[in-house]
């Protein structure tokens, strides 16, 4: 149980979602007769960092095993997340670049001494991060140190930082090395990676996607909002990271496909009753909404996309449409159920004193009718 808690603290920093989104389903796990089994292993470290190693000692490794692996310098401690031939596909997917053309080695399964030193390294990370932030502030560097990851043997630490501009942190590295007596590595991360590491609840009411399942971030621009006819309000389009929400990209392809045959919106519609200008669209219902130019009443008229294309063709030929909407396109008005004054259906106390059913009333009346005289 202690080892499992150590895994949670060491790799997920207490956030289960970050680890769960890194799991890969091994669909080759139950395939026994593989001609050339691979000795490559995928190992996960802290802050969604993964690397690939070779099992040169033919160790019996399963998912969840804690192993000591080759590092530069010394060794590091990580958790096995994937074994077998599927690791080769993962390396191709992530475009892994090999150091000197070779894959680093797995030394052994972590011993008790390795786990104790790893636990000591994890205990130092938060205190080191706070002190390093103070040092960066004293050096007046425009950067934020978001997290610190110690190597398993406590000889090296990775400092994850955020910065809008290029930062000269050569002096910072010297001060950090003198303060903590370790080897320093600086790694820059983006605002989306920082938000995914911290986690939180989005405006949809669910856990933010970057902390629950997104592992590769794709650039998002305002065109995604324009295709979906979303108001370009920076406060509503921005996520917790301050960047555009990743979910703007989720449905944009569907909207683009639905609008392939849509007419332009900047062309006014000329009719015998006047000119009409575009206001908004209901993309999946294929409806454009227009208002008459000069009409200040704010009335919008729903026009099917096919009718809009027809009127535009007529205007291009120098003709005006007789009317904006044809008679057979007008939809019947559906009466809405309104509030009935004096009705018990909308009363807040209608269930407090339930009325007796007619059956009980009839039975009571019979009893009174045939009640014997005393």
Name the nearest CA neighbour of 197 among 221, 215, 185, 220.
215
Show Cβ contacts of residue 171 under 8 Å, excluding neighbours closer than 6 positions: 139
Average pLDDT value for residue range 174-183: 94
**Collapsing DSSP states into helix, strand and coil, what is residue 327?**
helix
Instruction: Supply 47's token pair.
Output: 């802050």
Give me the pLDDT at residue 372, please.
Answer: 54
Which residues share a beta bridge with 148? 159
Query: What angle, 0 to 180 degrees and rounded to 10, lies between the N-to-C axes of helices 2-12 and 112-138?
Result: 30
Greater pLDDT, 361 or 200: 200
Q: 169, 209 in Cβ contact below 8 A?
A: no
Average pLDDT value for residue range 220-224: 91
- As a whole number of angstroms, the longest Cα–Cα distance in the chain is 114
Give me the pLDDT at residue 148, please.
Answer: 94
Is residue 11 scored above 70 in pLDDT? no
Instruction: Read off the pLDDT of residues 61-107 as tens digits, 9 standing for 90 and up.
Output: 988 899 999 998 899 999 999 888 888 888 888 777 776 678 899 99
**Collapsing DSSP states into helix, strand and coil, what is residue 324?**
coil
Which residues share a beta bridge with 160? 147, 187
Q: How would you classify the pairing of strands 50-54 and 40-44?
A: antiparallel
Element (H, E) at 360: helix 358-369
Mean pLDDT of the chain: 82
Give me the pLDDT at residue 116, please.
Answer: 94
Give me the pLDDT at residue 7, please.
Answer: 47
Q: 107, 75 in Cβ contact below 8 A?
A: yes
Name the nearest CA neighbour of 303 among 319, 321, 286.
286
Q: 297, 280 in Cβ contact below 8 A?
A: no
**Collapsing DSSP states into helix, strand and coil, what is residue 274?**
strand
Average pLDDT value for residue range 157-166: 91
Name the most confidently modeled range: 9-18, 34-43, 312-321.
312-321
Band (186; pLDDT cuts 50, 70, 90): very high
Band (340; pLDDT cuts 50, 70, 90): low
Can you tell me the distance from the alpha carbon of 109 to that of 80, in angstroms, rounded to the nearest whole number?
10
Can you tell me the distance from the alpha carbon of 143 to that of 136, in angstroms, rounded to the nearest whole number?
7
Average pLDDT value for residue range 354-365: 58
Instruction: Read off the pLDDT of residues 326-339 as tens digits, 9 standing for 90 and up.
Output: 765 555 444 555 55
Give me the pLDDT at residue 151, please.
Answer: 93
Domains along the chain with CATH numbers: 2-110 (no CATH), 117-192 (3.30.300.20), 218-258 (no CATH), 269-329 (no CATH)
Q: 23, 86 in Cβ contact below 8 A?
A: no
Band (194; pLDDT cuts 50, 70, 90): confident
Is residue 368 scored above 80 in pLDDT? no
DSSP of 90-125:
HHHHHTPPPBTTBPPBEEEE--HHHHHHHHHHHHHH
Can you tell me the distance from the alpha carbon of 78 to that of 43, in angstroms, rounded to the nearest whole number?
6
């Amino acid at each position: 149980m202690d080892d499992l808690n150590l895994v949670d603290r060491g790799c997920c920093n207490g956030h289960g979602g970050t680890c769960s989104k890194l799991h890969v389903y091994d669909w080759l796990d139950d395939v026994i007769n593989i001609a050339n089994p691979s000795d490559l292993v995928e190992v996960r470290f802290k802050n969604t960092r993964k690397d690939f190693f070779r099992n040169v000692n033919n160790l019996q490794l399963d998912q969840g095993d804690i192993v000591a692996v080759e590092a530069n310098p010394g060794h590091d401690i990580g958790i096995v997340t994937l074994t077998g031939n599927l690791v080769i596909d993962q390396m191709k997917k992530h475009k892994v670049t090999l150091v000197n053309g070779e894959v680093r080695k797995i030394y052994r399964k972590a011993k008790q001494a390795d786990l104790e030193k790893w636990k000591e390294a994890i205990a130092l990370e938060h205190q080191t991060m706070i002190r390093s932030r103070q040092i960066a502030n004293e050096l007046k560097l425009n950067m934020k140190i978001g997290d610190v990851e110690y190597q398993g043997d406590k000889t090296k630490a990775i400092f994850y930082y955020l910065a809008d501009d290029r930062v000269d942190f050569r002096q910072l590295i010297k001060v950090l090395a003198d303060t903590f007596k370790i080897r320093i590595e600086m790694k820059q991360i983006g605002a989306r990676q920082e938000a995914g590491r911290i986690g939180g609840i989005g405006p949809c009411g669910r856990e933010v996607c970057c902390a629950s399942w997104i592992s590769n971030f794709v650039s998002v621009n305002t065109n995604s909002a324009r295709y979906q006819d979303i108001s370009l309000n920076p406060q509503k389009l921005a996520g917790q990271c301050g960047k555009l929400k990743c979910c703007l990209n989720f449905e944009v392809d569907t909207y683009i496909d639905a609008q392939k045959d849509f007419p332009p919106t900047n062309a006014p519609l000329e009719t015998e009753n006047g000119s009409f200008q575009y206001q908004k669209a209901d993309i999946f219902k294929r409806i454009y909404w227009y208002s008459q130019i000069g009409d200040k009443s704010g009335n919008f008229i729903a026009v099917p996309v096919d009718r809009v294309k027809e009127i535009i063709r007529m205007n291009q030929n120098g003709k005006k449409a007789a009317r904006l909407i044809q008679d057979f396109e007008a939809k019947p008005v559906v009466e809405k159920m309104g509030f009935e004054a004096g009705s018990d259906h909308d009363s807040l106390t209608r269930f407090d004193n339930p009325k007796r059913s007619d059956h009980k009333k009839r039975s009571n009346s019979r009893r009174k009718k045939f009640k014997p005289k005393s």
